[in-house]
Amino acid sequence: MNDLKLEDIAKLAGVSRSTVSRVVNASPNVGAATRKRVEKIIQNTGYHPNAAARSLASQRTNMIGLVIPRTTSAFFTDPYFPHLTQGVAFACNNHHMTLSLFLVGNQEDENEITPRLLRRGMLDGFLLQSGNSDDMLFKRLISSQVPLLVLGRPFEEKSVNYIDVDNISAAKSAVSHLIKLGYQRIGMITGAIRSTTSIDRETGFRQAMAEAGREIDPTLIAEGDFSESSGYLAMKKLLPLRPDAIFAQSDVMAIGAMRAVQEAGLQIPGDVAFVGFDDLPIASTLPIKLTTVHQPITHFGIKAVDLLIDMIEKGTKPAKRMILDTELIIRDTCGGKSVNRPTDQGAEMEGSALKKPA
C-alpha cells in the first residue's frame, strides 16, 4: 500500500534485491525456504512493484491499445464496438495485460494521440480498427515500429497484419438465400462506402446475383453508413422503387430500414423481406426476428488480442493474417420457413463457453 520498494523488501528479508525480484517474477532459481520467506514479507507489507520502473527496465509495459479512428465514429452508436471491446478486454485479462482505449474524436485528438501510440515505453502493441480509405491516422500509424494488428481488411494490404471475417462469402450467402427464396427485386443498403467492410459485402452481393444470373438494378442500392438513421433514410429512398427484399449491411441499419417500412404501413417479410449482418443480440428479440449473418464479434476481439500478443512475443514476420467464419442465421424477416437459433453473443463472456488458454 505504502511506498515500499524492492530494496526495502530485500532488507526485511535479509536477501538481495535480485532475489526479491526473482520471487516477484516467479523465476525458478530461488531456494524454497527463501522464496517462502520473501513471499510472506511481500504479503504482509502489501508490496506492489512499481509499474513504470519495471517497464523501463524490462522494455515491456504489458499494455496494449485499441484504437478507433474517427472515420469510424459511428463508434458507440453501433453495438458492434462495445461487443468487440468486451472481447478485447476479456482477452487482455486472460493475458494479464492492460487495455488502453483510444477513441479518436476529431482532428485534434488525432494529432495528439498519434505520438502517444508511436512512443516507446507506452504500449507493447496495438489493435487498429480499419477505417475509410482516406484515413490519415491509419497511414501514419501503419509504419509504426510497435507491433500493430489491423481489425478488418485494410486498404493497403501489403505486409500489414490484419484479422477480418470473410465478408464476401458471408454477404454472398445472405443474398443467395434471398434469391433462393424467390425474391425478384433485391435491394441493398450499404455501409460507409469507403470502408473495406462495405466494399467486401457489396462484392458478395454482386457475386451472388451474378451466380444466379440476375441483373443488378443500381437504383436498388442505397448508401448508408452503418447507423440506424442511415438505414431508415436509405429505405425511405428505396421504398418507392418497390423492392421485395433488402440486404442491409448491418443489423442496426436493417432495424432502421424496417422502421421505415413499418411507418409506410407495409408488412415484413410479406411486402419487404430483410437480411441483416452482425447478429447482434437484439436481432433475436425484435418483434419480427431478424434473419442475419452471424459474425463472432466478441470472439473476433479475443482472437485479435491473441494474435497481437503472439506478434509481440514472436515477431511480426511474416505478416499475419486471420480470417474468421460467419454463419447465416435464418429467422423471420426473410420469409420462408423460420429456423430458430438463439444468439450467443452476450453469453460468450459467461461460464465455460470460452475456455481460457492454459
Partner DNA sequence: AATTTCTTTGGGAGCGCTCTCATAAGCCAT
Partner DNA sequence: ATGGCTTATGAGAGCGCTCCCAAAGAAATT
Query: Which positions touch its own copies (CB under 8 A)?
Result: 1-3, 48-56, 61, 63, 73, 75-77, 79, 81-83, 85-86, 89-90, 93, 96, 98-105, 108-109, 112-113, 115-116, 118-122, 143, 145, 228-229, 232, 256, 259, 262-263, 281-282, 285, 287, 346, 349, 356
| Complex with its own copies: residue 34 or 55, whichever CB lies closer | 55
Place of cell 450467443: 344
The distance of closest approach from Cβ of residue 146 to its own copies in the complex, given in angstroms and rounded to an integer, is 10
Binding partner of residue 16 among its own copies, DNA, none, CB cut-off 5 to 8 Å per kind: DNA
| Cα–chain center distance at 272 | 30
75 interface partner picked from DNA, its own copies, none, CB below 5 to 8 A per type? its own copies
Distance CA 295, CA 79 (A): 13
The CB-of-338 to DNA minimum distance in angstroms stands at 57
For the bound state, the minimum distance from the C-beta of residue 121 to DNA, rounded and expressed in Å, comes to 7
Question: Residue 89 binds what, of its own copies, DNA, none (CB under 5 to 8 Å, by partner type)?
Answer: its own copies
Which residue, chain included where needed, has cell 483510444?
A: 102
For DNA, the closer CB: 5 or 95: 5
Supply the minimum distance, in Å, between the C-beta of residue 301 and its own copies: 11
Q: Is 88 exposed, middle or buried (0-12, 13-18, 19+ CB in 10 A)?
A: buried
Which does residue 184 bind out of DNA, its own copies, none, counting CB within 5 to 8 angstroms by kind?
Answer: none
Q: What's the rounded Cα separation, in Å, for the pair 224 and 260? A: 14
Helix ranges (H only) for the chain are 6-13, 17-24, 32-45, 51-58, 80-94, 107-118, 136-141, 167-180, 196-211, 228-238, 251-263, 297-314
Query: Smaller CB distance to its own copies: residue 2 or 44?
Result: 2
Question: Kind and range of the H or E element at 65?
Answer: strand 63-68
Query: Which one, 31 or 105, has the nearer CB to DNA?
Result: 31
* Cβ-based nearer residue to DNA, 19 or 249: 19
Site for DNA, rule CB under 7 A: 3-7, 14-19, 21-22, 24-25, 28-35, 49-50, 53-54, 56-59, 121
Instruction: Please state the closest distance from residue 203 (CB atom) to its own copies, in A.
Output: 30
Measured from the Cβ of residue 188, the count of other Cβ atoms closer than 10 Å reads: 28
Tell me how far, at minimum, the Cβ of 61 lies from its own copies, in Å.
6
Complex with DNA: residue 35 or 140, whichever CB lies closer: 35
For DNA, which is the closer residue by CB, 3 or 215? 3
d(C-alpha 309, C-alpha 301), whole Å? 12
Shortest reach from residue 156's CB to DNA, in Å: 30
Which three cell numbers mark 111?
A: 494529432
Which residue's CB is nearer to DNA, number 34 or number 133? 34
Nearest to 208 by CA among 180, 246, 244, 241: 180
* Nearest Cα to Cα of residue 157 among 302, 321, 311: 321
Residue 100 parent element (H or E)? strand 98-103
